[in-house]
Amino acid sequence: MHKIHWVGVSSTVGLRVERRQHLQSVCLQGVDLVDQTDENRLGLSLVGQRYS
């Protein structure tokens, strides 16, 4: 009985940890996308200054 209960608890904890890591990775991907767009804007503005 104890083993079954422990497996249930460990699996729910594992799911929570996986979900948290997934959320963190999604947040990191969002930050990376924002960083890339900022870099693109900087690059475009630099190119615009160069040609103007």
**pLDDT tens digits along 6-49:** 666 777 777 777 877 777 777 677 666 666 777 777 777 767 77
Whole-number pLDDT of residue 1: 57
Q: Give the whole-angstrom CA distance, residue 43 versus residue 34.
A: 14
Whole-number pLDDT of residue 13: 72
Whole-number pLDDT of residue 15: 75
> How large is the C-alpha radius of gyration of the chain?
23
Whole-number pLDDT of residue 26: 74
Q: Is the pTM of this model over 0.85?
A: no
- Is a pLDDT exceeding 70 seen at residue 5? no
